[in-house]
Chains A and B, each alone.
Chain A
């Protein structure tokens, strides 16, 4: 009996120390480095691959997220895991000179690409670039009116900790938007999507970015990410209220929105 309890305790401890990296189980300490490797590898081709893989539909998903943001001139925005700055560009123009946008990403290669791209677009003055871990955000409490994390949460090692960290830095009345791949409940679409993800995505990655593994990880990490209801529950557990989600493209992508009151 004692042996069984010890074994269970050992399994729990092991579970606490491990996490998913695609379909593989790895030590939590390793995940950040492995994700960093992926994004260092794809940073320069990130935008073109997004257009290529999603047939440009990612722009519509992001646009819908911006429409749901309620952003106004003068507000403070944190674009977390902001990568190459698609959302930051628009937020910067909408909040204007009195507003402030922080483009944060854990990966410095992505930040460099984002900074160069935004400068080329003429966006500067109200944008700040910060290399930050979503699990331990280096900002004061109650600081931002809006936090967005688009296609970034599934790469975070401890998602609950990250959501709690976002809750901390969000102002009362502020909102969190999580745009992420999710689960489709349409069987035919699901089969087509799986076939596309595991056959075409790595091949496209090899062809365009000369990196099939990173895009295999992308497909696997999407499957390991919590579904719509689970993520909603995680946001509510962290303290968010009025949490709702909007499925897009049959649930392949979902936008979760929650408020801090």
Chain B
């Protein structure tokens, strides 16, 4: 069984299932229709080619034409691609290699990551309006509570590390240290300037 064909089938099915639910999907695909993107994930042995058409996104394991954009990146950098401000820093950090139009790449990343899906509406087809609403409301509450708990946990762990076990400095200590470093930097600059002045006088 060609493993790469199996992987590309899974990726294609997943993308297009979500694209079908995306209310802006067709409009976004229209902008990119006819474009071919080569995406090489560093974790996989060969690239995948994404062919965009009005109907869907096709994923090929091999493509003998010239893709419009060639990208090499790691899976961890995928989500950061949609933020145009981060693209340059990703390239500088060598997490991303691009050949072709970066704007096209960002549009492609938006196509895959910024899907406008009304999950409540989709679920209501199977569960009914009331149950779908309650389920989505419940999930939002769980997400909110989980976020709060996570923040609290982070805060508590931070206090344990800095206050109880003193494994790392607290925020005030860090601020004091930074102020001291800044003051030292200023004094060093002043001393350096004074030395340069004296050296100039000696050479005269």
Report A's interface with B, CB cutoff 8 A.
57, 59-60, 63-64, 66-68, 70-73, 90, 93-94, 96-97, 121-123, 246, 248-249
Q: Does B53 contact A (CB under 8 A)?
A: yes
Inter-chain contact A73/B65, CB cutoff 8 Å? yes
B74 within 8 A of A: no
Q: Which residue of the partner chain, among B54, B58, B63, B65, contacts A122 with CB atoms under 8 Å?
A: B54
A230 to chain B, nearest CB (A): 23
Distance (whole angstroms) from the CB of A259 to the closest CB of chain B: 13
Question: A60 touching B5 by the CB < 8 A rule?
Answer: yes
Partner of A94, one of B2, B5, B8, B60: B60
Which residue on chain B has the smallest CB distance to residue A98? B34
User: Once the chains bind, are B55 and A93 in contact (CB under 8 Å)?
Assistant: yes
Q: Can you give 17 contacting A-B residue pairs, CB < 8 Å?
A: A60-B5, A60-B6, A63-B5, A63-B9, A63-B61, A67-B5, A67-B8, A67-B61, A67-B62, A72-B64, A73-B34, A93-B51, A93-B53, A93-B55, A121-B55, A122-B54, A248-B2
Most buried by B among A68, A72, A73, A93: A93
CB of B58 within 8 A of CB of A249, answer: no
Q: Please, how many angstroms separate the alpha-carbon atoms of A177 and B4 in the complex?
A: 19
Tell me whether A248 and B55 are in contact (CB under 8 A): no
Chain A residues with Cβ below 8 Å from B51 are 93-94
Known: A60-B9, A122-B55. 7 other contacts (CB 8 A): A60-B5, A72-B64, A72-B65, A93-B55, A94-B51, A96-B34, A122-B54
Which chain A residues lie closer than 8 Å to B2 at the CB level? 60, 63-64, 67, 246, 248
Chain A residue at minimum C-beta to C-beta distance from B26: A122
How many residue pairs between the two chains, A and B, have CB atoms under 8 Å in the bound complex? Answer: 53
Chain B residues, CB < 8 A from A70: 62, 64
By beta carbon, the residue of chain B nearest A57 is B1
Interface residues of B in 189-203 (CB under 8 A from A): none
Contacts of A72 in B (CB 8 A): 63-65
What is the interface of chain B mostly: helix, strand, loop, or mixed?
A: loop
B1-25, CB < 8 A from A: 1-2, 4-6, 8-9
How near does chain B come to A77, taking the closest CB pair, in angstroms?
14
Q: Which residue of B lies closest to A97 (CB)?
A: B34
Contacts of B162 in A (CB 8 A): none
A121 partner residues in chain B, CB cutoff 8 A: 55
Shortest distance from the beta carbon of B36 to any chain A beta carbon, whole Å: 8
Query: Which residues 69-107 in B have Cβ within 8 Å of A in the complex?
Result: none
The answer to the question of B56 belonging to the interface, with a C-beta cut-off of 8 Å to chain A, is: yes
User: When chains A and B are docked, how far (Å) is the Cα of A122 from the Cα of B19?
Assistant: 15
| B60-A249 in contact (CB<8A) | no
Q: What is the bound-complex CA distance between A151 and B167, given in angstroms? A: 68
Chain A residue nearest in CB terms to B4:
A67
In the bound complex, what is the Cα–Cα distance between A125 and B182 (angstroms)? 69
CA–CA, A212 to B50, complex, Å? 41
Least CB distance from A168 to B in Å reads: 24
Distance (whole angstroms) from the CB of A253 to the closest CB of chain B: 10
Complex Cα distance A70/B63, Å? 6
Within 8 A of A (CB), among B97-132: none
Tell me how far the C-beta of A233 lies from the nearest C-beta in chain B, rounded to whole angstroms: 25
- A123 lies within 8 A of B62 (CB): no
Minimum CB–CB distance from A217 to chain B (whole Å) comes to 27
A67 to B9, CA, bound (A): 11
Contact at B5–A64, with CB atoms within 8 Å? Answer: yes
Whether B53 and A60, one on each chain, are in contact in the complex, defined by CB atoms closer than 8 angstroms, is no
| Chain B residues, CB < 8 A from A248 | 1-2
Min distance, Cβ A59 to any Cβ of chain B, angstroms: 6
For the complex, what is the distance from the CA of A70 to the CA of B36, rounded to whole Å? 14
What distance in Å separates the Cβ of B8 from its nearest Cβ neighbour in chain A? 7
Contact B60 A66 (CB under 8 A): yes
**Within the assembled complex, what's the spacing in Å between the Cα atoms of A254 and B36?**
29
What residues of A have a CB within 8 angstroms of the CB of B4 in the complex? 67
Residues of chain A within 8 A of B36, CB atoms compared: 73
Residues of B within 8 A of A94 (CB): 51, 58, 60
